[in-house]
Structure 1
Amino acid sequence: MKFKLAFSLISLGLLSFKPIQGEDPPKKKADNYVKPKYIPVPLGAIKPQGWLKDQLEIMLKGTTGHLDEVYSKLKDDNGWLGGKGDSWEETPYWLDGAVPLAYQLGDAALQQKVLKYINWVLDHQRPSGYFGAITKAEREGKEITLQHPENGDDWWPKMVMLKVLQQYHAATADKRVITFMEKYFNYQKEALKTVKIGNWTEWATSRGHDNVLMAQWLYGINGDKSLLELADLIQKQSFQWSNWLGNRDWVINAATYQNDDQWMSRHGVNVAMALKTPAIDYQRSGNPRYLKDLKVGFKDLMTLHGLPMGIFSADEDLHGNLPTQGTELCATVEAMYSLEKIIEITGDETYMDALERMAFNALPPQTTDDYNNKQYFQMANQVQISRGVFDFSLPFDREMNNVLGMRSGYTCCLANMHQGWTKYTQSLWYKTDGNGLAALVYAPNVLKTMVNGQEVTIKEETSYPFEDEINFVFSSKKAVIFPFHLRIPAWCNEAKIMVNGKEIKSAKGGTIAALNQKWNNGDKVTLKLPMTIATSNWGHNSRTIERGPLVYALKLEEKWEKGNNKVEGDYFSVYPKSDWNYGLLESIIADPAKNLSVSFKPMPQNFVWNLNSAPIEIKAKGKKIPNWKVVDGVARQPVSDRSGVYKGEVNNEVETLTLVPFGFTKVRIVAFPVVK
């Protein structure tokens, strides 16, 4: 992402938009405010276990726990500690993942580290209510007041820091955060009359919804109606994403044009962040039109730009659905956060399925095992990781967008990647409106929280998504009655739910199953989610093999090579040691269950997302396509006809292919041509 570029609203075409009917709700807005469907539990109430704990502990040892020590931009004279160094988005980005990690793992050292930044921000709020790094005007002796808000600096980095403070409050209930935000939002409401949301950069115009989200969060705590007035004001000054997402032309144009015209409105990370805007607007207004905008926009986005691993192309622009387009790591973690907020507000299980698909497939392969290096753009069909231009809309002259490095490509992703796993962990449990508990996405963990005035602990015992059974074991001093919600994924035809070994309910996929009863100490709920093998259709009539929430890619042994760029530092390239140019037999598509076999290995004690840890393999039959070759570093997809079969030259020999879950691969084929 390019920093501090200014774009006018006219150049973005905002003035030509037609506002949707009812877009500006009446001034008395509190009556229209919609309470969230699901309420987050306090940060730290969910403790990761099993493979998820292994992943978070790797992050703690790696850059999530130590980015300020190994990355000079954050390390040197940091502006968020009063210095002249980074005062932009990267320090808040890092804290946005480091803060939840510190409290999920209960790590005192990381808590003290992040608190240093939080305390500086809280302690250095200006009398006017403004906050942030010391500005150039302030160093010249000027003050940031309501009379002179122009002495401040860009609204955008503050939006990220507000998310950091909100999470810190969720962990500690520190009352300073509420007072701080009230004072800042009072300042902002007046200052925006003079220095609008896009006064300094268009990033703030594109991302104003993150500011709106925090204002509405505070309204949910203190009920101050002026916060909804502020939210309306920010929304009016920001890019009209709800209208944009509901208007089908935008996603079609994004698939067609890759020029400078309105590029910020198809910038992949902007779109990922903006997905939650209709839900935020719905929460404030109660207007159901926004939910329709969300549904239309998300479906169109994934239809025209979706990739098999559950994310859309974003290299940096939206770039169609061919499996050789790239996706920026920032786009994945921001899309996950958007889905998490959508789930919270709407309770729509569609977005729960989408969140799991992104988390288990798109997120893991884009970092190294030690969480110290990242890949700016990853491809679905990625037969080599190397320097090159490839087919990206932002290739870079240094050709470093595809390699695995700490500083390769833009370093926004180095700072921002930490929110992916930590916020997914925080989304494992919610409170329900009826004072119950809801498990909406799954992974091993332990929840400890208060229900009806009593402490309840639930241990979620599972290796999901690598197995289809999840056990919830209840602990409490006394019996307690409350509703317990369980999501049944859409890919599951029929789930079985047992209590203490006795089947009490079956439930169809794409629903929320509710158990409302008295829970005793030692009770165990077992959720069985049978995973069937299926195939799905992607760009150029390619096919992907799926089982449950996981998609499967060709297993290729890897050859790693270390390099160095004088500007972007050390990096890794990865190449396959074996052939990759295979098509799947047509019989597999006709009957996947009959023609594919699944095998399992024990979960490793120290789990890492790499080939050695993959606990599942699928055997498939295929034939080699000799003319499918790497050109300019890209394995461009062979075209199939309407029947879905590749008509070019195919070898006669049938070979056995081994597939593993996409998340364990670095080089792979996941979208296969189909051959006879």
Structure 2
Amino acid sequence: MITPLAVLVPLAIGSGVLAQNIQLAPKQYHNLPLGKIKPSGWLYDQLTVQINGLAGHEHDFYDYVAQSDWLGGDSYYSDLEEAGSYWFNGLVPNGVIMDDATIMSQTQQFMDFVFANQDSTGWIGPEVFDLSKPRYLWGRYPFLFGVMQMVEYNSSLADVVIPPIYKFVNVANSMLQNGTGFEPWTQTRWGDFVIALEWLYENYPNGNEDLLLSTMSLIQEHGVAWDEVFEDQYFPKTATENLTNPFNNVLTWHGVNMAEGLKAPAASYRYTHNQSQLDSSSQGWDLLFQYHGRPSGIFAADEYLAGLQAVRGTELCDVVETMFSGSYLYQVIGDPKFADRVERIAYNALPATLTGTMWSRQYLQQQNQVAAMNMTPDPFPTDTSYSNVFGLQPNHPCCTVNHPQGWPKFVTNAFVTTPDQASLIHLYLGPFSVATTLANGNAVNVAVDTIYPFSDTLTTTIRADAAFTYYVRIPSWVSKGTIAINGGAEEAVAPSNGLHAISVGAGTTTIILNVPPEITLESRPEGSVAVHRGPLHYAFDISRNQTVLTQNAQQPLAVDLQFLATEAWQYAIDPSTLTFHSNPPSSGTLPSPIFDSGLPPLTITATACLIEWGLAGSEFVDSPPENPECTGAPTEITLWPFGATKLRIGEFPVFKST
């Protein structure tokens, strides 16, 4: 067996080296405080849909996080074991970036309630409902992330919340020294605790440097050695259900643990200064997507890593946690591959696993998904046959409370600054507004007017008190991109490490950026292909009927939906015939919600033919057949952005039409 313990660089705490002299390794880029970046245009509408949907109403009726439950203390999950922390972590940025007073009031009340229930030992939140259950640390990590965001937005809260957080850190440190407080989930997710401790170290050390460094070291010591998990010799190259996990903690191959664990070595690097930890996070990222990646940007894990087959599932929690990890890894490491993938996930995998109105969500999504129903037999080795139904909580409730962090954290990480705070970087392309103050009191306002990714053009207006260098990320898929400044001639973009630099003067500067991509093909198993253009993955949107399976008694909009195909989907395509079509809205405003059938203004057509392509069960599709023969005459089909499809074929067999 491989040891689950991480190898640490000795910190020499308490042996003559003052903790105050240990500097955390700097990030390549810094995030802006919550509230400085806001969505605009279609993205603002998308966040509006989210808070008008399930995410914004869970507090009103959903058993795990409804106020009536956590105030009464009678909900198992309201005690920060999972649901309460997840909900708080996601709703804090939702409320702030959308200026939603109701949500901000709810999150403030929740935080106040948690700290009011801190016991004399320092343990935060109400005690677990089952008093015989041991105390485990990991469920508190997302709560700490929520508090960090609250303090970033309103620094006056620090005087109130930092002292009780240190009481918790003290009790956590004591528990770890005594060999308690951890179980498999705590052991896999330790990187999140380290990130929270590092935030305290940099922003509110308050003379507790030794305590913080000691706690970082202890939680990593008791945790999974992610640097070993991410070694090529140990990393699983296929679906894992028939493999023997070489680690003592079998949850290392669990999808959500993997999504969160990606950033753990990079978090460790910041206090150990061990370069190999950075290399480990980067290699783990590459291995994960090489052997389990999907054209939608995310990876396959129907509970555990699931290989490359298009019928295998991806958990919604995998989606939002990978987006957050990718943003963190970009800020620490600076490799644009992280930003490229986060943008792909946000514009494909995230909306694909939610209904357009965001009142129902899946537990698992599939690349080739010809039905959303209670499937027989179950195509998922560990999860239930109900997992791809769109509903309130199919399979497990975690994704219901955790998915709301996806969109707002995409927004809050869309711009970053250089470490000296002198330059601003537009990282994730889309419609945003930014109001911040850079170094030397340089007040800067940025407005990005675009319908990207449903267009290739972004118009950015910058107002600044003083001159500075502005950067914009040029994604790797851009072909012959151009930029024009203040009405000047177009010039070819010239990115360095993915960033194009622009000298911005005091006053107003206008930038018009064109980032046209080509249609590209991705090779998939069985000789199939996936179709991309820029950040968007394209799929055949299968028309469907809808049946309401269940309806929540307290909230009738919260329903479980069955989708069944109402047309043939067994198509092979001729990749040489792919043709892009753009039909921009005459009003300049996209439909709402944009991620639903037939609504995006971009499509790709292909010559296709029906083939023999069977089902592997009652309503889930078999692997794409290799070298299929047409059973009918060639025809033209339309492919739509993947995120707008709910039943789909995203990986196609191929044929030659001529």
Q: Which residue does the alignment assign to 1:376?
A: 363
1:68 aligned residue: 59
Q: Are positions 1:578 and 2:567 aligned together? A: yes
The within-5 A match list for 1:390-469 is 390-396=378-384, 399-435=385-421, 436-451=423-438, 452-469=440-457
1:622 counterpart residue number? 608
Equivalent position SS for 1:507: coil
Q: 1:170 aligned to 2:152?
A: yes
Partner of 2:49: 58
TM-score when normalising by structure 2: 0.90
> Letter of the aligned partner of 1:34 in structure 2?
A
The equivalent position to 1:92 in structure 2, one of 69, 85, 91, is 85
2:138 is the counterpart of 1:156: yes
Paired position in structure 2 for 1:143: none
Moved more, 323-332 or 30-39: 30-39
Q: 1:361 touches 1:663 (CA, 8 Å); kept in 2?
A: yes
1:655 and 2:639 are equivalent in the alignment: no
Shift of 1:586: 5.2
AA of the residue aligned to 1:207:
R
Query: In the alignment, does 2:28 pair up with 1:37?
Result: yes
For the 8 Å contact 2:238–2:308, the answer to whether it is kept is no
Structure 1 residue 551, shift from structure 2 partner? 0.5
1:480 aligned residue (451, 457, 466) = 466
Q: Could you tell me how far 1:229 is from its partner in structure 2?
A: 2.4
Contact 1:557 1:576 in 2 (8 A): yes
CA distance in 2, matches of 1:127, 1:539: 57
In 1, the alpha carbon distance for the partners of 2:381 and 2:283 equals 25
2:174 equivalent in structure 1: 190
Q: Establish whether residue 235 from structure 1 lines up as the match of residue 220 from structure 2.
A: yes
Which of the numbers 185, 206, 220 marks the counterpart of 2:202?
Answer: 220
Please give the per-residue CA displacement for 1:202-249, whole angstroms capped at 9, x wherever unaligned: 211121111111001111113553212211111111111122113432
Task: Give the structure 1 partner of residue 583 of structure 2.
Answer: 600
Q: Using a 3 Å threshold, how does the CA distance of structure 1 residues 618 and 252 change in structure 2: closer, same or farther?
A: closer
Structure 1 residue 57 displacement after superposition: 0.8
Match of 2:113 in 1: 120
Structure 1 residues 405-459: Cα deviation after superposition (integer angstroms, max 9, x where no partner): 1022101111111001011111111122232211111221111111231432110
Residue 496 (structure 1) aligned with residue 482 (structure 2)? yes
Q: Is the 8 A contact 1:494 1:508 kept in 2?
A: no
Would you say the 8 A contact 1:81–1:120 is kept in 2? Answer: no
Q: Does 1:297 align with 2:281?
A: no
What is the aligned partner in structure 1 of residue 295 from structure 2? 308
Aligned AA (1:650): C
AA partner of residue 85 (structure 2): P
CA distance in 2, matches of 1:317, 1:600: 40
The Cα shift of 1:179 comes to 2.6
Mapped partners of 2:566, 2:309: distance in 1: 24
Which residue identity lines up with residue 45 of structure 1 in the other structure?
K
AA at the equivalent of 2:43: L
Q: CA deviation at 1:495?
A: 2.7
Residues 32 and 285, structure 1, Cα contact 8 Å, conserved in 2: no
For 2:435 and 2:72, the matched residues in 1 are separated by 34
> Aligned-pair distance for 1:123?
3.1
Identity of counterpart residues, as a percentage?
Answer: 27
* 2:494 pairs with 1:512: no
Task: Write out per-residue CA displacement over residues 280-333 of structure 1, whole angstroms, 9 at most, x where no aligned residue.
Answer: 122222222122212221111111111111111110111110111001111111
Is the CA contact 1:166–1:177 (under 8 Å) kept in the aligned structure 2? no
Q: Is the 8 A contact 1:456 1:474 kept in 2?
A: yes
Instruction: State whether residues 4 and 223 of structure 2, in contact with CA within 8 Å, keep that contact through their aligned partners in structure 1.
Output: no
Structure 2 residue identity aligned to 1:446: S
Q: Distance in 1 between matches of 2:242 and 2:267?
A: 29
- The alpha carbon displacement at 1:487 in A equals 0.9
Segments of 5+ residues of structure 1 without an aligned counterpart are 1-12, 140-149, 589-594, 641-645
- The two structures have a TM-score, normalised by structure 1, of 0.88
1:546 corresponds to 2:532: yes
Instruction: Give yes or no for contact 1:390–1:634 (8 Å, CA) kept in 2.
Output: no
Q: CA deviation at 1:582?
A: 0.8
Rounded Cα–Cα distance in structure 1 between residues aligned with 2:270 and 2:116? 32
| CA RMSD after TM alignment | 2.6
1:532-571 CA distance string (max 9 Å, x none): 1111112222101100011000132221111139999941
CA distance in 1, matches of 2:325, 2:240: 22
The alpha-carbon distance between structure 1 residues 586 and 404, as it changes in their structure 2 partners (threshold 3 A), is closer
CA distance in 2 between partners of 1:276 and 1:100 (Å): 21
TM-fit CA distance, 1:76? 6.7
Structure 2's unaligned 5+ residue stretches are none
Report how far residue 151 of structure 1 moved. Answer: 9.4
Secondary structure at 1:294's aligned position in 2? helix
Report the residue type matching 2:351 in the other structure: P
